Amino acid sequence: MSVPQYVAKEALVRDLRDFISRDADRTKRFNDAIATAVAGSAGTHDEMANEGIKTLDDYLRFCDDLLQWVPKVSSKGDELLQKILVFYWPQNSNTDLSWLSYWLVTFAHQQGLFLSTPQSAASVHSFYRNEKYNQEADLWIEPKSGWVSFNHWFAREWKDIDSARPLAGPNDDKVVVSVADSKFNGNWDIVDGNVTISGIDAKGVEWPIEKLLQTTTINYHNGTFMHAFLGPINYHRQHAPVYPQVATKNGGHLSGDRRLIQNPHMITRRRERLLSDGHGFYNLDAPDNAGYQWYQTRGLIVIQTKDYGKVAVLPIGMAQVSSVVMTVKKGDNISYFLFGGLDVVVVFEKVTFKSGLKPGETKLNVRSELARFQ
């Protein structure tokens, strides 16, 4: 068992090194997680080799560099996605997830600060040459001043959204549209205030909606919960799924409740290969399992409809949601992700989803039909 010796430049990475070193069993778990990835038994050898990772010290060096990494991609590869997936590998260490989840959120925040600097935009041009990212580049707005940061580009907008992403059911209040360009990951009934997501383990885990929303003022005692996940290539703005009378946005970032974590295996992020649509692939564990939203930082947008109750939209991760009460139309932009936010949850009082939706497979275009009110 090797105790990490790497002398990190960043205080945050030194915190992780010290956390690992304080407990012999924890040190072993982290070393084992890295060794498993390097050995390639999980299909991860090439990814780790590309980042020069052979040991736990190498991983800490990788984290150190990542905090100041200028995002770029080669013409055919997806180095951005690869770094995301390599970074999240320690979640497989089966260690104290309460501390680690807090550290991951803090890391994402610090990285996000760098990605909002002019320096971070130095290689944005590489994404225009990459076949995974440039498929709709001619439809993006090009700012006259150029991209002032990587996050400025990441949250890019369409020149004409009505052309790029036409609105389904513009005159039909019953039609619910997709909140984001994303992959559908499933929908579950809310029964007696709980969502039971059986795919997490054999027994199923009950997740209380009140804990997710952190409010008792919204009655979702019985209703519907759905989850979709985004990849780095996607359009990263979220749009209103319904016609509201009024929308309330809570931008205070609801905090995760790590007391709900019963077993780290329940929130291990499963692998998905996204080869079918030519949008790249996940070779390591990508963040997409429903259930982990309860301990992630998130925004909350509550939309009051005229006839169908309240709809809650929760961007998960580094979403920009200002606190405001506003009036919007179905299909209007309501929030956006900076780098690090890649999931969205929508909670309804009751809807019927359109047929043919396959978890982990169906691609959703923002503003396309997703469901109908009953």
Which of the pair, 63 or 79, is modelled with greater confidence? 63
- 108 and 205 belong to one structural domain: no
Q: What percent of the chain has pLDDT over 70?
A: 75
| Residue among 364, 170, 128, 327 at smallest CA distance from 246 | 327
My answer on whether 313 and 202 are in the same domain is yes
CA distance 193 to 371: 21
Give residue 278's pLDDT: 36
Give the Cβ contact number of residue 1 at 10 Å: 11
pLDDT at 285: 36
Outline where DSSP puts E strands in 8-136: none
Following DSSP, what letter does each residue of 210-264 receive, concatenated? Answer: HHHHT-SSS--SSEEEEEEE--TTS--EEE-SS-EEEEEEEEEEEPP-GGG---G
- pLDDT over threshold 90, residue 181: yes
Same domain, 198 and 321: yes
pLDDT, tens digit, 9 for 90 and up, residues 290-306: 444 444 566 788 888 99
> Both 65 and 21 in a single domain?
yes
Q: What is the average pLDDT value for the chain, to the nearest integer?
A: 80
Q: How sure is the predictor about 362, in pLDDT bands with cuts at 50, 70 and 90?
A: very high
Lowest-confidence segment of 184-188, 260-264, 297-301 by average pLDDT? 260-264
Q: What is the dihedral of CA 108, 112, 114, 115, to 10 degrees?
A: 130
219 plus 268 within the same structural domain: yes
Contact 176, 161 (CB under 8 A): no
Give the percent of the chain with pLDDT over 90: 44
Q: What is the pLDDT of residue 23?
A: 92
33 or 245, greater pLDDT: 33
Structural domain count, the chain:
2
Residues 120 and 137 in one domain: yes
Q: Are residues 135 and 233 in the same domain?
A: no
- Looking at residue 334, its pLDDT comes to 86
- Mean per-residue pLDDT for 266-292? 36
Bridging pattern class, strands 182-191 and 363-364: antiparallel
The bridge status of strand 175-177 relative to strand 298-305 is unpaired
pLDDT, average across residues 170-191: 93
pLDDT band at residue 78 using 50, 70 and 90 as cut-offs: confident
Identify the domain boundary among 140, 156, 172. 156
Q: Is 357 exposed, middle or buried (0-12, 13-18, 19+ CB in 10 A)?
A: middle
pLDDT of residue 94: 66
Query: CA-CA distance, 162 to 166, in Å (whole number)?
Result: 5
DSSP-derived 3-state class of residue 66: helix
Whether 274 and 335 share a structural domain: yes
Same domain, 170 and 138: no
SS3 343: strand
On whether both 195 and 268 belong to a single domain, the answer is yes
pLDDT (0 to 100) of residue 368: 98
Output 51 or 340, whichever has higher pLDDT.
Answer: 51
How many residues are listed for the chain in this entry?
A: 374
Q: Clarify whether residues 89 and 152 are in a common domain.
A: yes
The answer, yes or no, to whether residue 233 has pLDDT greater than 50, is yes
pLDDT score of 374? 82
Domain edge (last residue) among 117, 138, 156: 156
End of a domain among 156, 173, 196? 156
pTM of the model: 0.82
Domain that holds residue 96: 1-156
Q: Name the band, by pLDDT with cuts 50, 70 and 90, for residue 260.
A: very low
Torsion of CA 82, 164, 316, 218, to 10 degrees: -160
pLDDT at 271: 34
The least confident of 153-157, 213-217, 286-290, 363-367 is 286-290
User: Do 353 and 289 sit in the same domain of this protein?
Assistant: yes
Partners of residue 244 on adjacent β-strands: 305
